[in-house]
Amino acid sequence: MKRMAIVLAAGQGKRMKSKLYKVLHPVCGKPMVGHVLDTVKQVNSERVIVIVGHGAEAVQSYLGDAAEYVLQPQQLGTGHAVTQAAPLLRNEAGSTIVICGDTPLVTPETLEGLMQLHESNNAAATVLTAQLDNPKGYGRVIRGEDGSVLRIVEQKDCSPQEDVVREINTGTYCFDNLKLFEALEKVTNHNAQSEYYLTDVIGILVNASETVLGYITNDSSESIGVNDRLALSEAEQFMRERIAKRHMLNGVTMIDPSSTVIGADVTIGSDTILYPGTIIKGYTVIGEDCIIGPNSDIDSSIIANNAIISHSVLDHAEVGLRTTVGPFAYLRPGAKLGEDVKIGDFVEVKNSVIDNGSKVSHLSYIGDATVGKNVNVGCGAITVNYDGYNKSVTEIEDDAFIGSNVNLIAPVKVGKGAFIVAGSTITHSVGENEMAIARQQQVNKPGYADKIRNKAKAKKNKG
């Protein structure tokens, strides 16, 4: 059976009190609508229609060609929103998920269970429901004696008997697509808000003696729809716990999960240890047997097996096998470290390749450079890559030795096995196995220190 999905993402989200459009607010580093789109695609939805309105350009820019789009120019209710997809879907046979773009916690497993119940019973509609200890504010799901759904009653319309029902409507549905659009033509806006409600479709189908079912999610947190910053923080917390649990069950050790933040798209290998205060986000991939943290911030980086990252920031960087980084290092975009590399404290690497076995142990800057194998870069050495107008490249070949406090003024090349004496400022290339020294000759003046001090005292007394 063909599967389709309609994602409702046209609301403005005034209660967010934000310049950022509601469904683009991130949960664990990914916009909410991105979570929803990933979920519906994981249940084999062949067509995904996103209903956009406020912030339409921003939503389309983020999702790109991952979906089809329909504009809802006026927001006249959920039923009206789904109707906008009629030109694309009304003649399609199959099952259609309708889900809100601000429900990031709904899982593929839950959607698959919903759709299997729906399809195996040839239902006209199946409602995703949840059992809440405190259902106040939610529409109640009223079932018949046979367990089918009779109606959905909003909180304000509940009778005393209906008010005690704990099963609520999450706002996610699965419909027989042809019956959905047929029923939508019968929905009216004869209500206090003059809006067209999708929940009215349930009543229309029941009155037509169609089968309407309810599927209860095992995790009530999936019912959270994010309408304000409080709900956003709750969704973030639930998602963080879910992600942490998944990684730990896959063999990752987290010393303190409550103080460790992992993004939704992060991959981590088994036997890796994450220490407290660590933030891992974006499309980061971490190998096996690594030690990460404490207090490291890693974004969209690749870290190979057995690497160690301590108190450091990595931004779109690559770290090779058995390489150590930190403490207090900064790998900026384009930093690529080979195997058995050492990047020590207060070292910054930007847009540079450092090959196997090389060491930049402390207080150095390597920018726009290629560093060969087994190179030693001494304390305080830097590549001077920017002249105020252009970036230039430094090339250091294998087995070179760069002494402490050396300035390499790019563009410059240091040959294989070359030796640069500490304190030198190198402005010309150094050949293979050559030694370079470029510093002013030292001059000692006996007794001159006392003259300077006496002169300073006299000036002070005069003042």
Q: Rounded to whole angstroms, how far apart are CA atoms 312 and 329? A: 5
Confirm or deny that 385 is annotated as ligand binding. yes
Q: Angle at CA 362, nearest 5°, toward 361 and 363? A: 150
- Residue 11 assigned to a binding site: yes
22 is in an annotated binding site: yes
CB 60 within 8 A of CB 267: no
* Residue 367 assigned ligand-binding role: no
What is the rounded CA–CA span in Å between residue 424 and residue 442?
13
227 has binding-site annotation: yes
Q: Annotated binding residue at 365? A: yes
Q: Is 75 annotated as a binding residue?
A: no
Other Cβ atoms less than 10 A from the Cβ of 17: the count is 8
Distances, alpha carbon 169 to alpha carbons 117, 135, 153, 238, in Å = 16, 10, 9, 20
**214 in a labelled binding site:** no
Phi-psi region of 241 (alpha: psi -120 to 50; beta: other; left: phi over 0): alpha
Is 102 annotated among the ligand-binding residues?
yes
The annotation status of 15 as a binding-site residue, yes or no, is: no
Q: Which two tokens stand for residue 370?
A: 């290629």
The span from the CA of 237 to the CA of 277, in Å, is 16
| φ, ψ dihedrals at 311, nearest 5° | 50, 45
Asked whether residue 154 is marked as a ligand-binding residue, the answer is yes
Q: Is 376 annotated as a binding residue?
A: yes
| Tokens representing residue 79 in the block | 């039923």
| Environment class of 316 (CB within 10 Å of its CB; exposed 0-12, middle 13-18, buried 19+) | middle
**Which residue, 121, 102, 138, is CA-closest to 20?**
102
The answer to whether 229 is a known ligand-binding residue is no
Active site residue 118: no
Tokens of 365: 């800057």
Query: C-alpha dihedral over 285, 287, 290, 295, to 10 degrees?
Result: 10
263 labelled binding-site residue: no
Choosing from 54, 190, 362, 428, the catalytic residue is 362
The residues facing 318 across adjacent strands are 302, 336
64 is in an annotated binding site: no
Q: Which amino acid is at 457?
A: K
Measured distance CA(248)–CA(257) in Å, rounded: 9
CB 191 within 8 A of CB 124: no
Active site residues: 362
- Binding positions for UDP-N-acetyl-alpha-D-glucosamine: 8-11, 22, 72, 77-78, 139, 154, 169, 227, 332, 350, 365, 376
- Binding positions for acetyl-CoA: 385-386, 404, 422, 439
- Binding positions for Mg(2+): 102, 227
- Binding positions: 8-11, 22, 72, 77-78, 102, 139, 154, 169, 227, 332, 350, 365, 376, 385-386, 404, 422, 439
